[in-house]
Amino acid sequence: MAACAARRALAVGSRWWSRSLTGARWPRPLCAEAGTGAFSPAASTTTRRHLSSRNRPEGKVLETVGVFEVPKQNGKYETGQLFLHSIFGYRGVVLFPWQARLYDRDVASAAPEKAENPAGHGSKEVKGKTHTYYQVLIDARDCPHISQRSQTEAVTFLANHDDSRALYAIPGLDYVSHEDILPYTSTDQVPIQHELFERFLLYDQTKAPPFVARETLRAWQEKNHPWLELSDVHRETTENIRVTVIPFYMGMREAQNSHVYWWRYCIRLENLDSDVVQLRERHWRIFSLSGTLETVRGRGVVGREPVLSKEQPAFQYSSHVSLQASSGHMWGTFRFERPDGSHFDVRIPPFSLESNKDEKTPPSGLHW
C-alpha cells in the first residue's frame, strides 16, 4: 500500500510541477519523502506539511534534497546538471547532450494527400528540426516508483556472438528531452545513487554545476557512441493522444547463413486531454528493404494495457524488431477505449529503420 501511495504521489506531483513551476519564484526547495521517491516543491512549511500528510505513508517525513532552478528556455544543460523529470518524476543527472532531428507531423507543412505506400510514409511532408535530448542517469532510489513505464532503462544492447543472452540492458540509463528537464541544485556531493555516478562524474565546488566529467565518461561515450546515438525522433498526435517514437540501430548478427539486423524503438504515449482512455490493441506494419511487408496485431503493448488519465497522462515502453535487410520502415496504429466503451485509433508516426553506422561489434558491457 505504501508503494502504491508513493507512485501515485510521484505521478500527480510531476504533472503539477510541469504546469505550475514556470513563473513561480526561484529558487524553490525540492523535497522528497525519505525512502519513497515521492517529491513535492515546498513553498512553505505549511504547504510541505499538507502535501506530506496527504501523500506519504504514516511516519514518513519530507526531506529537502535540493533547490529548483529556472528551466532553460534557450541553450543546453551542462554535464553534471541535476534534474527532476517533469513527466516521470525521477531524479537524474545529465551526462551529455544529443542533437536529434525531430519530425513532428503535427506541425508539418501542408501537402496533398498521398496513398499509403510500402515505405510507410503518410500523407504529410515532414521536415525535421534540431532538438536537444540528454543521456542521463536515473537515481536508483526512484526506479521502483516509476509506474508509468514498462522499464526504467531505455538502452539495450545486442550481446556478443559468443554470449548466450540475446539482449542485455544498462539499468538506470535514459534519454530525456530538453523540455522534460526541471533543473535543481544540491549541496550533497553524491546526490544521485547510481553505480556509475562516481565513475563518470567528479565533484568540483568551483564549477556550476559542481559535477564535471571524468575521463572515464568521455572514453565510454566515444567507445559506445554508435550504439547510444539518438539521431531521429518522430511525433504525431491523434485525438489528443501524442505518440513519440525514437528508433535506435543495434547492429547485425549472422543467423543460418543470413544477416539479421536489429533495432530497438522507444515509444511514449501522452494524453493531452483530461478524459481517461485505455490502450487496448496495437497494429503494426513492418516493411523490409527485401520487399516483405509484415502485419502484427495484438492486445496492448509489452503485456500491459495502460490507462492514460489526468493524474498519469503518459506511458513509455521499449521494444525490438529485426529484419533480414539493412533497412526498412514501420508504422501503424494504437486502438484506445473511452469510458463509454467506444474506440478510436491513434496513428503511430512512420519511421525509418536504418543501419548506416559503422559495423563494429556492439559492446558486451561497459567499455572504458
As a whole number, mean pLDDT of residues 183-209 equals 95
The grid cell for 154 is 531505455
As a whole number, mean pLDDT of residues 157-179 equals 77
As a whole number, mean pLDDT of residues 34-47 equals 50
Torsional sign, CA 266, 315, 96, 98: positive
Q: Report whether pLDDT(258) > 80.
A: yes
pLDDT attached to residue 62: 72
More confident residue, 15 or 354: 354
Average pLDDT, the chain: 80
As a whole number, mean pLDDT of residues 17-40 equals 53
pLDDT attached to residue 42: 53
pLDDT attached to residue 86: 93
pLDDT, one tens digit per residue, over 314-342 is 999 999 999 999 999 999 999 999 999 99
Percent of the chain, pLDDT > 70? 72
d(CA 170, CA 156): 7
Q: Report whether pLDDT(71) > 50.
A: yes
The alpha carbon of residue 14 and the mean position of all alpha carbons in its chain are separated, in whole angstroms, by 15
Q: Report whether pLDDT(357) > 90.
A: no
As a whole number, mean pLDDT of residues 166-194 equals 91
Fold for 67-107+128-354, please state it. Immunoglobulin-like (2.60.40)
Q: Report whether pLDDT(112) > 80.
A: no
